[in-house]
Structure 1
Amino acid sequence: MVKLFEQISIKGVTIKNRVVMAPMCMYSADNDGMVQDWHIIHYATRALGGTGLIIQEATAVESCGRISDRDLGIWKDEHIEGLRKIVKSIKDNGSVPGIQLAHAGRKSTVFSEPVIGPSAIAFSEEYKTPTEMSKEDIKRVIEAFKKAAERALTAGYEVIEIHAAHGYLINEFLSPLTNKRRDEYGGSKENRVRFLKEVLEAVREVWSKPLIVRVTAEDYEEEGNHAEDLADMVNLVKDLGIDLVDVSSGGVVDVTVKAYPGYQVDFAETIKNLTGLSVIAGGLLTTADQCEEVLQAAKADMIFLGRELLRNPYWTLKAAHDLKTEIQWPVQYERGKYRE
Structure 2
Amino acid sequence: MTAPARSTLFAPATLGPVPLRNRFIRAGTGESMADPAGRIGDEYVALHENLARGGVGLAFTGHIFSHLRGRYGDLQAGLHQDSSIPGFARVTEAVHRRGGRIFAQIAHAGSQSMSFATRPLAPSAVDNVMTGRRVEAATDDEIHEAIDGFRQAARRAVEAGFDGVHLHGANGYLISEFRSPLTNTRDDDWGGTRERRDRFPVEVIRAIRAELPAGMGLTMKVGLADLVDEPGGLTVPDAIEGVRSFVAAGLDGVEVSSNLMSDYVSASIRGYVAVDRRRALEDLLFHRLHKKPEPEAYFLPFVDALRAQVDTTIILVGGMRRVTTMAALVESGRAEFISMARPFIREPDLVQRLAGGQRTAPACVSCNICLMHDEHHALRCWRTPRMNLLRHAKYRFSGGFKGKGSGRKPAAGDR
Tell me the TM-score normalised to structure 2 length.
Answer: 0.75
Partner of 1:214: 221
Partner of 1:89: 94
SS at match of 1:213: strand
> How far did residue 301 of structure 1 move?
0.5
> How far did residue 112 of structure 1 move?
2.4
The aligned length equals: 325
Deviations 1:31-67 (A, max 9, x none): 1100121101111111111000011110111011111
> Is 135-144 or 108-117 further displaced after alignment?
108-117
Change (3 A) 1:52 1:256: closer
The answer as to whether partners of 1:4 and 1:17 remain within 8 angstroms in 2 is: yes
Partner of 2:266: 257
Partner of 1:234: 243
**In the alignment, is residue 311 of structure 1 matched against residue 316 of structure 2?**
no
Structure 2 counterpart of 1:72, which letter? A
Deviations 1:59-105 (A, max 9, x none): 11101111112110001100001010111111111110111110000
> How far did residue 107 of structure 1 move?
0.7
CA distance in 2, matches of 1:245, 1:12: 14
The answer as to whether partners of 1:50 and 1:316 remain within 8 angstroms in 2 is: yes
The answer as to whether partners of 1:281 and 1:303 remain within 8 angstroms in 2 is: yes
Identity within the alignment, %: 28
Deviations 1:120-172 (A, max 9, x none): 11223743212211000011111111111111000000110111111000111
Partner of 1:335: none
Bigger relative contact order (CA 8 A; separation at least 6): 2
CA distance in 1, matches of 2:358, 2:331: 13
SS at match of 2:126: coil
Partner of 2:301: 266
**In the alignment, is residue 285 of structure 1 matched against residue 320 of structure 2?**
yes
CA distance in 2, matches of 1:92, 1:256: 36
Partner of 1:331: none
**In the alignment, is residue 224 of structure 1 matched against residue 215 of structure 2?**
no
SS at match of 2:246: helix
The answer as to whether partners of 1:216 and 1:247 remain within 8 angstroms in 2 is: yes
Structure 1 counterpart of 2:351, which letter? T
Q: List gaps (5 residues or longer) in structure 1.
A: 326-340
Q: 1:140 aligned to 135, 142, 145, which one?
A: 145
Structure 2 counterpart of 1:296, which letter? E
Q: List gaps (5 residues or longer) in structure 2.
A: 1-5, 271-293, 361-415
CA distance in 2, matches of 1:69, 1:105: 15
**In the alignment, is residue 248 of structure 1 matched against residue 250 of structure 2?**
no
The residue correspondences of 1:33-44 to structure 2 (distance < 5 A) are 33-44=38-49
> How far did residue 294 of structure 1 move?
1.4
Change (3 A) 1:227 1:321: farther
Change (3 A) 1:256 1:85: closer
Structure 1 counterpart of 2:221, which letter? R
Partner of 1:80: 85
Partner of 1:338: none
The residue correspondences of 1:163-178 to structure 2 (distance < 5 A) are 163-178=168-183
The answer as to whether partners of 2:28 and 2:62 remain within 8 angstroms in 1 is: yes
SS at match of 1:99: strand
Change (3 A) 1:205 1:250: closer
Partner of 2:64: 59
> Is 313-322 or 74-83 further displaced after alignment?
313-322
The residue correspondences of 1:82-231 to structure 2 (distance < 5 A) are 82-124=87-129, 126-208=131-213, 209-221=216-228, 222-231=231-240
> How far did residue 114 of structure 1 move?
2.4
The answer as to whether partners of 1:18 and 1:52 remain within 8 angstroms in 2 is: yes
The answer as to whether partners of 2:15 and 2:313 remain within 8 angstroms in 1 is: no
SS at match of 1:160: strand
Change (3 A) 1:86 1:251: farther
SS at match of 1:215: strand
CA distance in 2, matches of 1:157, 1:266: 32
> How far did residue 219 of structure 1 move?
1.4
The answer as to whether partners of 1:230 and 1:271 remain within 8 angstroms in 2 is: no
The answer as to whether partners of 1:178 and 1:252 remain within 8 angstroms in 2 is: no
> How far did residue 273 of structure 1 move?
2.2
CA distance in 2, matches of 1:295, 1:125: 34
Tell me how large the CA RMSD over aligned residues is.
Answer: 1.9
Partner of 1:328: none
CA distance in 2, matches of 1:284, 1:145: 29
> Is 260-269 or 124-133 further displaced after alignment?
124-133
The answer as to whether partners of 2:18 and 2:163 remain within 8 angstroms in 1 is: yes
Deviations 1:274-305 (A, max 9, x none): 11111100211122112112112211110100
The residue correspondences of 1:319-330 to structure 2 (distance < 5 A) are 319-322=354-357
Structure 1 counterpart of 2:307, which letter? K
> Is 125-134 or 84-93 further displaced after alignment?
125-134
CA distance in 2, matches of 1:61, 1:255: 23
Structure 2 counterpart of 1:114, which letter? R
Structure 2 counterpart of 1:244, which letter? G
CA distance in 1, matches of 2:29, 2:139: 30
Tell me the TM-score normalised to structure 1 length.
Answer: 0.91
Structure 1 counterpart of 2:143, which letter? I
